[in-house]
């Protein structure tokens, strides 16, 4: 099956520092990856769509300068939370969609990483 | 745009009770439908899915049928266990519009008591 690995699973950082979260597709190529944020006891909200080799597309209300996304290869996307503050503390989850055309499970389903719990102190 | 409306929780059941969590959706294209489960402090796990109308997804005793006529994908289990206690998310992903982008319901917290 398709596996997406997200690292780190937990991180605690000081206010004002930057944190990088990695999302890797281990056994498939992913042209498109998605970054979600989940506040406690709430649902997942899409932050941005990351496309390999091009700029990410951010959802309304998400600060692109604060949440830097890089998708430099077909198997890796990174989310960097810059100048983190306590209000950025949250659960961040990535997902990846397999590259390719046509129908089939690999093209309708996005595979999720295990998430990163960020705590800014 | 796409949206998912999920039964509000929390839901508390006794072990071996019957479970239904309602989910309805609106979509502009041809969505695939999913149920995910999230255990405390963990990420999302795919529970089951259905990719076209009348498909039934099933896994670990859970079932859901893709009903296009009622735009629904209700989750059911005949006999819940304490280990089923978790948050359940209904979601859709549209192949032809923003393929792979997932739209989630608000989640339903299930607690099963012995």
pLDDT score of A1 = 66
pLDDT score of B96 = 65
Higher pLDDT, B107 or A104: B107
Radius of gyration of chain A (CA): 14
Question: What chain A residue is nearest to B30 in terms of C-alpha separation?
Answer: A108
Instruction: Check if A117 contacts B (Cβ < 8 Å).
Output: yes
What is the 3-state secondary structure of chain B? CCEEEECCCCEEEECCCCEEECEEEECCCCEEEEEEEECCCCCEEEEEEECCCCCEEEECCEEEECECCCCECCEEECCCCHHHCEEEEEEEEECCCCCCCEEECCCEEEEEEC
Cis check: omega of the bond before A120, within 30 degrees of 0: no
Mean pLDDT of B61-68: 97
SS3 B84: helix
CB B58 within 8 A of CB B47: no
Cis check: omega of the bond before A14, within 30 degrees of 0: no
CA B69 to chain centre: 18
> Looking up tokens 């949440």, which residue turns up?
A67
**Adjacent-strand bridge partners of B26:** B3
Per-residue pLDDT tens over the stretch A23-64: 999 988 888 899 999 988 888 999 999 888 888 999 999 999
Contact B106 A42 (CB under 8 A): yes
Residue B17 has pLDDT above 90, yes or no: yes
SS3 A88: helix
Taking CB atoms and an 8 Å cutoff, what residues of chain A touch B109?
A: 41
Mean pLDDT for all residues in chain B? 92
Per-residue pLDDT tens over the stretch A65-89: 999 999 989 899 999 999 999 999 9
Contact B104 A110 (CB under 8 A): no
pLDDT score of A101 = 46
What is the spatial distance between Cα A70 and Cα A19, in angstroms, rounded to a whole number? 13
Taking CB atoms and an 8 Å cutoff, what residues of chain B touch A44?
A: 44, 89, 102, 104
Give how far B32 is from chain A: nearest CA, Å: 7
Contact B44 A93 (CB under 8 A): yes
Mean pLDDT of B71-83: 97
Instruction: Check if B51 contacts A (Cβ < 8 Å).
Output: yes
Per-residue pLDDT tens over the stretch A93-115: 999 987 654 445 545 578 899 99
Express as a percent the part of chain B with pLDDT over 90.
75
Contact A43 B102 (CB under 8 A): no
Q: Is A83 left (phi over 0), alpha (psi -120 to 50) or beta?
A: left
Instruction: Check if B97 contacts A (Cβ < 8 Å).
Output: no
Tokens for A120? Answer: 């800014």
Residue B97 has pLDDT above 70, yes or no: no
Mean pLDDT for all residues in chain A? 89
**Adjacent-strand bridge partners of A11:** A118
Nearest to A13 by CA among A77, A114, A93, A83: A83
Per-residue pLDDT tens over the stretch B24-52: 999 987 789 999 999 988 888 999 999 89
Instruction: Check if B40 contacts A (Cβ < 8 Å).
Output: no
SS3 B67: strand
Residue A17 has pLDDT above 90, yes or no: yes
Nearest to A81 by CA among A22, A28, A9, A4: A22
Nearest to B23 by CA among B86, B84, B89, B68: B89
């Amino acid at each position: 099956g398709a596996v997406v690995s997200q690292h780190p699973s937990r991180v605690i950082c000081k206010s004002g520092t930057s944190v990088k979260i990695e999302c890797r597709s281990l056994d498939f190529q992913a042209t498109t990856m998605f970054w979600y944020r989940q506040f406690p006891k709430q649902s997942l909200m899409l932050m941005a769509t990351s496309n390999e080799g091009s700029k990410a597309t951010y959802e309304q209300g998400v600060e692109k300068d604060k949440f830097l996304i890089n998708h430099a290869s077909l198997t890796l996307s990174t989310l960097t939370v810059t100048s983190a503050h306590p209000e950025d503390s949250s659960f961040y989850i990535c997902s990846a969609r397999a590259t390719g055309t046509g129908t089939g499970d690999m093209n309708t389903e996005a595979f999720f990483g295990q998430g990163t719990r960020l705590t800014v102190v | 745009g796409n949206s998912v409306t999920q039964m509000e929780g929390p839901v508390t059941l006794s072990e071996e009770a019957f479970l239904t969590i309602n989910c309805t959706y609106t979509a502009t294209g041809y969505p695939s439908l999913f149920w995910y489960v999230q255990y405390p402090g963990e990420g999302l796990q795919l529970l089951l899915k259905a990719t076209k109308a009348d498909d039934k997804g099933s896994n670990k005793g859970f079932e859901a049928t893709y009903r296009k006529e009622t735009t629904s994908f209700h989750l059911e289990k005949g006999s819940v266990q304490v280990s089923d206690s978790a948050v359940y998310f209904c979601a859709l992903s549209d192949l032809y519009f923003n393929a792979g982008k997932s739209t989630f319901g608000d989640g339903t917290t299930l607690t099963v008591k012995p």
